[in-house]
Structure 1
Amino acid sequence: MPRPPHRCRVSRTAVAALGAAGLIALGAAPPAIGDEPPGRVFVGGVGPLEDVKPESVLELPVTVVNKGASTVDEVWIKFTTTRGLDMTEVPANCRTQFVGAYDEMPERWIAVCRFRRTLKPGVVHTLERPFTVKTRAHAFDDEMWVSASNFDPGSDENNPPSPGNEPAVGLVEAPGGAEGTAEEVKLPVRAANTADYEVTGGALRGNVGDTVTMKGTFTNNGPAWVYHRPETKPALVRITFPAGTSVVRPDPSCRAEGEMYICGALGEKEHVQDTFAFKLRIDKKVPGAKGSLVLTGVPLPFDTHRANNAAPISLEITGSDTGAGPSSAALPIAGAAAAGAVVGAGAVLAVHRRRTRSPS
């Protein structure tokens, strides 16, 4: 399979709107509601695939049947896979295409196969040889969609398709073959795989009054990717900072909850790292003060290595316990009283706590 192109993708919603406007401008009306195609092609012969091994070949003995009232002159079968599945042996009468993620849909590969075969109503046909896909090393909770129609379902508008590189495959009658019940079916493909989620903290060092940077990380160490559907809740990273520190500038992807911060941790793609950067002010020395990063929010049944789901944040105070310099707190009360005595009796001195700097 060719490498996925890196292209900017136009929203499918915008394309649909422009297409409708173009039809109106050209005076072309869409088909009337009552205009049905001469036949309806249903797909069958395939079902959920469970506990498959990564890097194994899966055969799809797809069947098609014309459920319409009249003959169909040609058939199109479309295969769509999520990123844990690969199409390595694509027949010459098929085209493949990579489509990047958009509108809550994951990146995926599509193969569309054309069959110049007449289908009479009610006669089941199957492929001369099964269509195959291969589970990749990072396969885990994947999906495949298979659909059939008597028209070309079209291609993605941004990425050009590529022709198949294997001998063409045809359709043959399959007496007694499984009749489909839908024009499109979704097949869960579950691979026996794991994903190791890991968080790392940081070692902070500075004097009282200093502003320091804390960088925590979240990484999916693989080998599996973890498909996050729109309804799937992501894992969360709960960050607690060492006592005696205050947040000057939080990471923009995190939100405050009391004295803690909660950061979203998608962890979808394997070997991809997210970094959470905070600016902290060391307000005072608290002996033994430590913070932590902890994965929370959802169960992680695929993560069999839980020891790295939490990490400490250490803090080492250097120099004097009280600190000094431009980042230290306002003038102490005792010092203010002495200064007031110098400028004369009756002088009023207001002491203000220095405000925490706003995020920039």
Structure 2
Amino acid sequence: MARTRGQRLAGAGAAALLTALGTVVTFGGATPVAAAGGAQAAGAQLKAEHIMNTYYIPQYRESAPDARPTEYEIGLKATGRAANGEPLTVKNVKVNIDLAVLKGKVRVAWENTGYHCKRSGSVMTCALGDIQQGALFTPFRLLPEPGAALGPVGAMNITVTSTNAPTVRHTTHVVMGAPVLTARQNKPLTEVQPGSELRVTPAFGNKGDTAIDDSFLVLLTAQEATLRTQYSNCRYDKAVAPTKALCELPGPLPAGAAVETDGPLTAVVDKTAMYGKVHYTVLRAHDPLDNTLLPASSPRGTGGPLGVRPVDGSGDDFTPSAYWKAEMAGSTLDFSTNQINDLQAVGFTIKGKIGQVVDTQVPYPRNFKGGMIRVKLPAGVSVVPNKEGDHPSEDFYCGAPQGNGLVGCYGILDRNTYLRARIDKRVPGAQGSVSADSDPAIDPNQENNTAPVKVEYVG
């Protein structure tokens, strides 16, 4: 079914990629796609944000006759603006794809009629109509023909025309063969000391039947850690305490080969970290897809260049991605610190008018295993007994006050616990506490087992 034009739309493969990577922006380096005529003209403009430069098609196999390549996607964006800043619609957009080079080697198994894609001879035309924002679509699905030999097939030329914007042209080089980009997987680390260093050595290989004749980009991101600005051929999102790095590494990568970086990329674990990760994605440099890359103006590392050295990539620890096997692979180093046993109570505030009965959620303590949470009420606040059946059954409510002035509140990680209390009177500076117990043998820091409970008077 046709979808509304002007939207950015992605198929299942694109959705999987975006989920894996988390974000989508345009590659900040030189773009391989240019509007005809050189310098950008005033008025309506159309930009090709995503069209592959090299497209790999797996060789036909009788055992898997329906095996198909990565989705071939075309991403367009309307970038022109009027003098008042309003976006300009690009009128009557047509995408023409010359498929002549595929004859006898690849067949078109499906045409995207939802985007009005139709073949006439060796040319497919997708009549997109008007584009106000952008479009991302797959024009066709290709399958290899029996007998097609491995190697370069030729150039597939794409021309994008409209009635009011410069023509956009692009060439995709088609190769018969299936490289399979892999990345070495990391084992999780436990009991990591906050403030310590983690050294990640990216490694990637090619378990396919065709060489990847390209250089590579390694995109590294850190959560609950920051990166050292080490290498001159790596760009960083910040000059101080960056969390993202983009390194340019040499190729090519023959079939069956694997390499690792000749030095580690170093992350420093945050002082407050409990759980975190360092993830890297390996990409073909001239087909970075729509990944979150860094512009050329980003700060560079202060040391020498990062290189690669050969390694054995035949093991099971070198694995491909679920999608985009010829385009990308990734690996994650998950870590937990020795603070995961440090129970930390979370304070809260009781807010309301004098005389009002309010329900206040009691936060679940960090690293708590479940059980009793104790609340000492601030002066001027009293607990209101809760009657069975007057609250949702999936919620817990604190019980009646105990003889020592404390209120017991049962807590479970995936359930909400509430304190029902009356604000009896205003008491300046009134403050109570919330606390929970942990084993001092594994949690020597008992001071943060208690946190303040405050009162905020309304009106």
CA contact (8 A) 2:23 2:291 kept: no
Alignment correspondent of 2:319:
181
Distance 1:301 1:153 in 2: 50
For residues 108-156 of structure 1, the C-alpha deviation after alignment (integer angstroms, 9 at most, x for no partner) is 9332222231110111111122222222322332122222222325554
Determine which of 26, 30, 35 is the counterpart of 2:138: 30
The letter of the residue matching 2:231 is P
- State the 1:87 CA deviation: 0.5
Give how far 1:44 is off. 1.1
- Cα contact 1:197–1:219 (8 A) shared by 2: no
Structure 1: runs of 5 or more not aligned: 1-10, 99-107, 204-208, 221-225, 248-254, 267-275, 284-290, 315-358
CA distance in 2, matches of 1:65, 1:189: 24
Q: Does 1:47 align with 2:187?
A: yes
The alignment of Structure 1 onto Structure 2 pairs a total of residues equal to 258
Could you say if the C-alpha distance between residues 146 and 52 of structure 1 is closer, same or farther in structure 2, counting changes exceeding 3 Å? same
The root-mean-square deviation of aligned C-alpha atoms, in Å, is 5.9
TM-score, normalization by structure 1: 0.50
Alignment map for 1:190-229 (pairs within 5 Å): 190-193=336-339, 195=342, 197-198=344-345
Q: Does 1:59 align with 2:199?
A: yes
Paired residue type of 1:30: T
**Residue identity in the other structure for 2:243:** W
Counterpart contact for 1:86–1:136, Cα < 8 Å = yes
Aligned-partner residue type, residue 345 of structure 2: E
| Residue of structure 2 in register with 1:104 after alignment | none
Distance 2:140 2:200 in 1: 36
Is the 8 Å Cα contact of residues 69 and 121 (structure 1) preserved in structure 2? yes
Shift of 1:55: 2.3
Amino acid at match of 1:152: P
Percent of paired sites with the same residue = 16
Whether the 8 Å CA contact 1:199–1:293 is kept in 2: the answer is yes
Aligned to 2:187, what secondary structure does the other structure show?
A: coil
Corresponding residue number in structure 2 for 1:162: 298
What SS class does the counterpart of residue 163 from structure 1 fall into? coil
Secondary structure of 1:280's aligned partner: strand
Q: Secondary structure at the match of 1:181?
A: strand
Q: Residues 305-328 of structure 1, C-alpha deviation per residue, up to 9 Å, x if partnerless?
A: 4565457989xxxxxxxxxxxxxx
Within 2, Cα distance between the matches of 1:238 and 1:78? 46
- Paired residues of 1:240 and 1:259 also in contact (CA < 8 A): no
Query: 1:282 pairs with 424, 438, 443, which one?
Result: 424
Question: What is the match of residue 269 of structure 2?
Answer: 135
Distance in 1 (CA, whole Å) between partners of 2:396 and 2:251 is: 62
1:251-287 CA deviation, whole Å, 9 max, x = no partner?
xxxx985566989999xxxxxxxxx99983439xxxx
Q: Which sections of structure 2, spanning at least 5 residues, go unmatched?
A: 1-21, 27-48, 50-73, 79-127, 144-173, 321-328, 387-393, 400-406, 426-431
2:277 aligned counterpart, secondary structure: strand
Paired with 2:369 and 2:77, the residues of 1 have a C-alpha distance of 39
**For the residues of structure 1 that align with 2:397 and 2:247, how far apart are their CA atoms?**
56
Larger Rg: 1
- Indicate which of 113, 124, 136 corresponds to 2:258: 124
Please give the secondary structure, in 1, of the residue aligned with 2:237.
Answer: strand
What SS is found at the alignment partner of 2:243? Answer: strand
- Matched ranges for 1:312-351 at <5 A: none
